[in-house]
């Protein structure tokens, strides 16, 4: 009895119905290798597989969830999540807030102060910085400071 794999229309119909190679092999009474060979012979390509973990990771990333939490949720590493998000070209929402910067003065347009400014102006934002007994004495030359 001839195999159903010789019927190209039937094979295309089963692939269009998203039947797996295992299901097609069971229906045709052949091995999965024979199914792969028949798909190649008739130049039938399957739709690319969708990685559900990547879909979830991108959706969570766009919702503003931290990478570490996404990695736990999809049972993958943070590096994998980062690469999946980059591959998808996902962006954080416009209202996404990162953690507070450790050195906010680096984002200040007036920082650092002009070269040659007296060191007392550096401590203007922190009044106790140059108080008596701190062990720090500003000198005339701002590049050299003496620690007592």
Tokens at 77, concatenated: 């590493």
Residues 37 and 62 in one domain: no
Query: Does residue 84 lie within any of the structural domains?
Result: yes
Residue 89 CA to residue 81 CA, distance in Å, equals 12
Query: Does residue 113 lie within any of the structural domains?
Result: no
Residue 135 has pLDDT above 60, yes or no: no
Task: Dump pLDDT digits (tens) for 98-113.
Answer: 677 788 777 777 766 6
Residue 80 CA to residue 86 CA, distance in Å, equals 10
Which pTM does this prediction carry? 0.43
Query: Does residue 71 lie within any of the structural domains?
Result: yes
Question: For residues 90 and 58, is the Cβ–Cβ distance under 8 A?
Answer: yes
pLDDT band at 72 (very low <50, low <70, confident <90, very high): very high
Residues 30 and 58 in one domain: no
Residues 13 and 32 in one domain: yes
pLDDT band at 1 (very low <50, low <70, confident <90, very high): very low
Q: Mean pLDDT across the chain, nearest whole number?
A: 80
Domain of residue 56: give its range: 52-88
Query: Does residue 100 lie within any of the structural domains?
Result: no
DSSP 8-state code for residue 22:
H
Residue 22 CA to residue 42 CA, distance in Å, equals 18
Q: Which of 10-14, 72-76, 135-139 has the lowest mean pLDDT?
A: 135-139
Task: Dump pLDDT digits (tens) for 121-132.
Answer: 555 555 555 555
Domain count, the chain: 2
Query: Does residue 93 lie within any of the structural domains?
Result: no
Query: Does residue 78 lie within any of the structural domains?
Result: yes
Task: State the distance between the two ends of the chain, measured CA to CA, in whole angstroms.
Answer: 100
């Amino acid at each position: 009895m001839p195999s159903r794999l010789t019927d190209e229309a039937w094979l295309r119909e089963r692939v269009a119905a998203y039947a797996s190679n295992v299901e097609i092999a069971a229906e045709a009474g052949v091995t999965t290798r024979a199914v792969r060979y028949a798909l190649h012979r008739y130049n039938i390509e399957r739709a690319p597989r969708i990685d559900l973990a990547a879909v979830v990771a991108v959706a969570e990333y766009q919702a503003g969830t931290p990478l570490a939490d996404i990695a736990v949720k999809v049972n993958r590493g943070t590096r994998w999540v980062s690469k999946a998000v980059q591959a998808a070209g996902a962006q954080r929402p416009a209202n996404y807030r990162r953690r507070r910067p450790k050195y906010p003065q680096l984002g200040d347009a007036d920082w650092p102060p002009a070269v040659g400014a007296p060191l007392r102006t550096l401590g203007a934002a922190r009044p106790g910085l140059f108080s008596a007994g701190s062990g720090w004495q500003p000198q005339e030359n701002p590049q050299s400071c003496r620690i007592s």
